[in-house]
Structure 1
Amino acid sequence: MKWLGVWLVLLCYSEYGYSSNTQRQPVSLYTYHYMPPYVVDSQKQIGLFYDVARFFNQHQQQYNFQVSYIPRKRLNYQLAQHEFDGVVIGVNPVWFQDREKQKYLWTGALMQDQDEFLSHRSQPFEYVDKASLYDKQVGGISGFRYHTVDKLVAEGLVNRIDTSNESRLLKMLLKRRFDCAIVSRATTIYYQTLLNTNQELHFSSKPHDRYTRHLLMPKQMKDVLQVVEPLILQLLQSPQWQQQMLLYQTQLDPQ
């Protein structure tokens, strides 16, 4: 429970306390990445995304930000129907076919991350190029998009096997139910410590993808963007946040 203890300590000593000001306009910070370390405990509000919301709430008086879960399929539907009214935290423009940032409003980068190719150490998988994946069984999360793998699946060159969450995905990988799996580095670090699997998982030298995480919002929320954008810059300059990100990125060296 090392990671949970770390988050509890960070929460208890954090400067990012929620304000009780009920006059603020509520804004939901939606995420479909309902997994550690972004969301560790929703009831106790432990996790990176809760820390971001607390920081936002302390450093402005107009909005009350609250982290909420939304399935990716529901989010896609609401965006397509122009029914979405909120902010999506921790996402990348490429995942929403908005590389040029024309369809939605986007903040600057909140953090760096990457998706790893994981395999069992007894049968290590190394990703060199797409040919490395031919005829492989690849584990993923239902509703998530993996650009390289999904193209090969559509071409009949790869078999993708989906699970409901990252914990189940890693457990199935340890049972050798597929050749490799795609999991974010941060989530893998958390579960490696929790499940004590440090010696059983192999990280490919080349990851599936490296990317930045941003906040997405519909174009009618320009007022929220104007408030949030400087808050992100302020957050990234916070020594406490920098220390927290260092822990998040280097708690365990996969190599």
Structure 2
Amino acid sequence: MKKLVLSLAVLCALLLSTGAPAQVVTVYTSASFAPLMLDDGRGMYPDLIAYLNQRKPGKLTFRLRYMPRKRLQVKLEDGSIDGIVIGMMPEWFDDVEQKKYLWSAPFATDGYVLASLAAKPVSPDAPASLVGASVGVTHGYAYPRIDAWLSASRMVRSEGPSDEKNLEKLLLGRVDCVIVAESMAHYFVRTHGMSSRLHLAPLASPPTERRMLAPRSQAATFDQIAPILRKLKDDPAWQRIAASYR
């Protein structure tokens, strides 16, 4: 009998030593454009998810999933989202004081540029030339740090489904200029060999900081990844990854 009890105790110890299975955490993104998300499955966001999975914080496993922006915002607001969100900033969710949601340290920074044809450049420093010019913007997208300038410029908005589609409209001569994320513009120019065709003028605004957002119901998960994200700026491995998309 004692041997049976001992055997059962050893078996229980072995089962407990294997630990609980890894918890799968869904990471949502509303981005569908380069260099954040590429058609071949690569991109800065998939690479960051792979980076987290290599480190397995708290035995968590992360998977990236796309969700349209409006649906994502609704699920955040009604508390029904079952994961965390990548690549957001507090200004986009009326949470500048970071009280509604949990926010990580920035893992990347970005800005905006005004892209135009090199043969017909449009400059944000020449206000008179902007009046009446058609400017490509992304449908449903807010530009919280340059909206005031955009309204004052008296340009005519032409909405498109994405930054990349707006750049294509520019190349076809369907708009005079495009407001586009700096990272996307430089990646587009580099990968399509457009350095001689496009003129990129930086727009004066504070940098866009890409962060992880977590609803407070996901505090346990957030606490596992926040220290890792906070150290990314000092990690040469991550900096090499991020540099490959500039």
Is the aligned partner of 1:92 residue 2:50? no
Q: For residues 165 and 230 of structure 1, do their structure 2 counterparts lie closer, same or farther at Cα, with a shift above 3 Å needed?
A: same
CA contact (8 A) 2:112 2:203 kept: no
TM-score relative to the length of structure 1: 0.79
Give 2:13's aligned residue: none
Is the aligned partner of 1:38 residue 2:36? yes
TM-score relative to the length of structure 2: 0.81
Q: Superposition pairs for residues 43-122 of structure 1, below 5 Å? A: 45-59=41-55, 60-122=57-119
1:245 deviation in Å?
A: 2.6
Q: Name structure 1 gaps, 5 residues minimum.
A: 1-20, 250-255
Match of 2:124 among 119, 123, 127: 127
CA distance in 2, matches of 1:36, 1:98: 26
1:79 deviation in Å?
A: 2.0
Q: Who wins on radius of gyration, i.e. which is larger?
A: 2
For residue 111 of structure 2, give the secondary structure of its aligned residue in structure 1: strand
1:225 deviation in Å?
A: 1.2
The number of equivalent residue pairs is 227
Q: Superposition pairs for residues 124-163 of structure 1, below 5 Å? A: 124-128=121-125, 133-147=130-144, 150=147, 157-163=154-160
CA distance in 2, matches of 1:132, 1:226: 50
Range 105-114 or range 186-195, more displaced: 186-195
1:99 deviation in Å?
A: 0.9
Q: Name structure 2 gaps, 5 residues minimum.
A: 1-18
Match of 1:24 among 19, 22, 25: 22
Amino acid at match of 2:179: I
1:61 deviation in Å?
A: 4.2
Amino acid at match of 1:140: V
CA distance in 1, matches of 2:148, 2:218: 33
For residue 92 of structure 2, give the secondary structure of its aligned residue in structure 1: helix
Match of 1:206 among 203, 207, 218: 203
CA distance in 2, matches of 1:34, 1:212: 18
- In percent, how many aligned pairs have the same letter? 28
Amino acid at match of 2:72: L
